[in-house]
Amino acid sequence: MARKPLQNGGPVGLTGRAIGPTFIGISCATIAAIVYIATLAPDVTYTDAGELAACCVTWGVAHPTGYPLFTLLGHLWTALIPFVPPIVALNALAALWTALSTLAFFGLCWETLRYHDPPLQPRQRSIICALAALTYALARTVWEQATVIEVYSLHLLLLWLTAWAAFRARRTSSLRWLLLASYLFGLGLTNHATMTLLAPALLWFFIPLFRQRQGASPWLCLAAAILPLTLYLTLVLRSAAAPPLDWGGVARGWTQLLYHVTGKQYQVWMFTNPSLWEQNAGLFFQLVPWQLGVVGIPVVLVGMWQTWRHLRPLWGWIMLVIVVCLVYALNYDIHDIAPYFLQAYGGMLLAAAAGAAWLWTRLPRLRWFLLLMPATNLIANWNSNDRSHDRSAAAYVQLIADIAAPNAIIISAQWDFWCSAFWYKQRVEGLRPDIALVEQELVRRTWYLQQLHRWYPGLMECCIDAIQFYNRLLEPFEAGRAYDAARLQRAYENVFNTLIAAHLEDRPVYVTPDVLLREPAIGAAYQKIPEGPLIRLSQSADTLSERLGRLELSALVQSLRQYRSKLDHALWNTLVRGFTASALFARQQGQSAIARRLEEYLKQLGAPSPTSP
C-alpha cells in the first residue's frame, strides 16, 4: 500500500489531513494524564497535603503564603464533583494541572524551535517538541507533583504558560502577548511566591520590547501583573468568616496579612547557612539524570552549546531560568527542597529541545537515541512515583486514632506524617472528633491558640491566664521586635503544662516522642507510659491500655514495604521505636499477652523482637 503524502510538512492522520502541533501537544498531555492517573495516590499523603486538602474543601486560609488561587480553584473543583471523595478529587486535580503544564511546555518548546537554523519543518518540530514534552512530563520531580495534591502542580502550569506567552510576545512584539504574559506572571504569584524567580528571564525578553515600543507598555504590564494580586484580599475575607482552617488569622490586621503573604516566618531558613548550598547542590545533581532520561544529559550540553553559538538571546533566557532558580533553591534550608528545582530542570529540558533539534537535523542516525529520553524516564521513574497503593499517612492516622482513648488530648509536632493528615481526616472526613490535637510548634503563633478555641470549645478555658500572659510575650517575637527569649520559653512551656494539669484527671493526655525530645519540660512532672507511637502521661505508675492488643497494622505495613522515601523510613523508625518501648514496658508490667502482640507488630514491620532487660 502506498504511503499517504505529507501535507504542509506535518504528520498525516488516518483521514489524510495533516496533524497539527496543537493536536500533538494535547496528545502528549493526554499521555501524561493517563500515566498520572495510573500512579495517583488514593488517599491523603505526607507533609502539607492534608492541610492543603482541608483548606481547599472548606475554603480556608492555608499556611504562608496562603495560596489564594490554589485554594479557590481546589474548592470549586471539589464542589463540582461531590460524588468523589475530596482527597481523591484533589489528587486528580494535581494530575490535571501537571498534564496541562505538559501542553504548556510543548507550546514553549514549539516557540523556542522557531529560531532554529536551519528552519525546521513543522513535522520535525512537532516530533522534537513531543519528545521534549514527554521527557518533561515523565521527569521524576515533575511527575511527583502529579500524584498528590500540592501547590507545585498549579505552579508548573502557570510557570510555563507565562514563559510561552513571553516567547510569543518576543516574537510578535505584540502588546496583547506582553499583557498576557504579565497577567499570567501575577496570577502565578497568587499561587506560589517562587514565580518571582522567573522575573529576570521575563525582563531579559521584555526590556528590548519596551525600548522598541517607546510607549506605556512597561506601566501597562506592571498593572497587568498587579491586578491578579488582588486575589490575596480573599484571604482576609475568608479569615473574617472564621473558616475551619484559618492559618495566620489574617483578618486581624494588615500587619498579620503582610506577615503571612510574604512568608516571613520562613525567611529564617533562607541564605542563613553558608554550607547548605553544597548539600542541596548534591541533591540537585543527583536528581538530574532522572529528569533528563539519563541519555538527555549530553543532549542538554549540545543545546547549551548551540544556543550560545547561534541563539544568544535564547541562551541568556535559559541560563537566567536555571541560575536564578538555583541561587535561591540551593540556599533554602528545608528538607523537601526538590520541588524548588523544578524551574531549573525545566530550563535544562528546554535546552534539551534545542539540542535535540540540532542532532535531529545534523546527525539523523541519532534520532532513535532521542526516543530514549522519555522512555528512560518512564521506566526509571515509575516505581518511585507510583503512589497508587500509598496509604502510609492515612493508615498511620488511623493507627493513632485506634490507640488513643476517648476524648484524648494529643500534643504532637509530627507535622509531616500525622498532624497535617489528621487535620484533613478530622475536619473533612469526621474521624475521631473527640480527639483534641495540639500541634506543638504552632503554639508559637498567636493565631493558632485562637483556632484551638474554635476547634475545641472549652479545651483552652483552663489556661486563659497562661495564654494571655504568653501572648503578650509572643507578639513582639512575631512582630520582629526585641523580646526576652528565656521568659518567652518559660511562658510557652507553662501553657502546655497548665493544659495538661487541668485535664489529666478527666481526659487522657498523650504526647508524641518528638515533643519530649524537643521540649523536655513539657509534661516533665508525669509518668511516661509508652503506647506504640504515643506516650501517655500519667500521675502515677500504670499499665498499658488493652487497646494496644487490638490494632490492625496490615495496611500500614504493606504501604511502608512498598514505599521507602525519607518520610517512609522516618515513620518506620517511629513505629519500631514506639512498639519496642511498649513491648519492653509490657514485659516489665507483667502484661504478657499485650507484649506478645506488640512483638507480632514488630515482626510485621520486619524489626527484631526486643529482649527484656
What is the pLDDT averaged over residues 416-423? 96
pLDDT in tens, 533-578: 999 999 999 999 999 999 999 999 999 988 778 899 999 999 999 9
Residues 413 and 363 both lie in one domain: no
The sheet carrying 436-439 orders its strands as 436-439, 409-412, 509-511, 534-538, 527-531
Among the three residues 358, 385, 412, which one is the final residue of a domain in this structure?
385
Residues 356 and 451 both lie in one domain: no
What is the pLDDT at residue 7? 35
Q: How many percent of the chain have pLDDT more than 70?
A: 96
pLDDT in tens, 336-383: 899 999 999 999 999 999 999 999 999 988 888 999 999 999 999 999
Residue 265 has pLDDT above 90, yes or no: no
Q: Does residue 4 form part of some domain? A: no
- In this structure, the dihedral spanned by the alpha carbons of residues 387, 388, 394 and 398, taken in order and rounded to 10 degrees, is -140
Residues 337 and 445 both lie in one domain: no
What is the pLDDT averaged over residues 412-438? 97
What is the pLDDT at residue 23? 95
What is the pLDDT at residue 611? 63
What is the pLDDT at residue 18? 54
What is the pLDDT at residue 522? 97
Range of the domain at 145: 26-112+121-385
Among the three residues 368, 385, 402, which one is the final residue of a domain in this structure?
385
Q: Does residue 9 form part of some domain? A: no
Q: Residue 613: pLDDT band by 50, 70, 90 thresholds?
A: very low
What is the pLDDT at residue 563? 77
Q: Does residue 16 form part of some domain? A: no
Residues 337 and 409 both lie in one domain: no
What is the pLDDT at residue 5? 34
Residues 321 and 252 both lie in one domain: yes
Residues 79 and 178 both lie in one domain: yes
Residues 31 and 178 both lie in one domain: yes
pLDDT in tens, 457-477: 889 899 899 999 999 999 998
pLDDT in tens, 85-112: 999 999 999 999 999 999 999 999 999 9
Q: Residue 212: pLDDT band by 50, 70, 90 thresholds?
A: confident
What is the pLDDT averaged over residues 189-218? 89
pLDDT in tens, 479-512: 888 999 999 999 999 999 999 999 999 999 999 9
Q: Does residue 18 form part of some domain? A: no
Q: Does residue 17 form part of some domain? A: no
Higher pLDDT among residues 166 and 562, named by residue: 166
587 close to 595: Cβ distance less than 8 angstroms: yes
Residues 378 and 396 both lie in one domain: no
- In this structure, the dihedral spanned by the alpha carbons of residues 424, 425, 431 and 433, taken in order and rounded to 10 degrees, is -20
Q: Does residue 552 form part of some domain? A: yes
The phi and psi torsions of 387 (rounded to 5 degrees) equal -100, 15
Among the three residues 385, 410, 443, which one is the final residue of a domain in this structure?
385
Q: Which of 2-11, 153-162, 253-262, 405-414 is least confident?
A: 2-11
- Interatomic CA distance for residues 335 and 354, integer angstroms: 33
Q: Does residue 20 form part of some domain? A: no
Task: Please tell me the total count of domains within the chain.
Answer: 2
Q: Does residue 155 form part of some domain? A: yes
Termini Cα distance of the chain = 82
Cβ partners under 8 Å of residue 602, min gap 6:
576, 579, 580, 583, 608, 609, 610
Residue 386 has pLDDT above 60, yes or no: yes
Residues 409 and 497 both lie in one domain: yes
Residue 16 has pLDDT above 50, yes or no: no
Residue 22 has pLDDT above 90, yes or no: yes
What is the pLDDT at residue 115? 83
Beta strand pairing status for 409-412 and 436-439? Answer: parallel
pTM of the entire predicted model: 0.94
- Interatomic CA distance for residues 1 and 193, integer angstroms: 57
DSSP per-residue codes, 183-211: HHHHHHHTT-GGGGGGHHHHHHHHHHHHH
Of all helices (H) and strands (E), which one includes residue 529?
Answer: strand 527-531
Residues 366 and 408 both lie in one domain: no
Instruction: Quickly count: other Cβ atoms within 10 Å of residue 268's Cβ.
Output: 8
Average pLDDT of the residues of the chain: 93
Residues 436 and 321 both lie in one domain: no
Q: Residue 609: pLDDT band by 50, 70, 90 thresholds?
A: confident
522 close to 515: Cβ distance less than 8 angstroms: yes
Q: Which of 3-7, 113-117, 141-145, 383-387 is least confident?
A: 3-7
- Interatomic CA distance for residues 147 and 88, integer angstroms: 10
pLDDT in tens, 303-328: 999 999 999 999 999 999 999 999 99
Residues 269 and 404 both lie in one domain: no
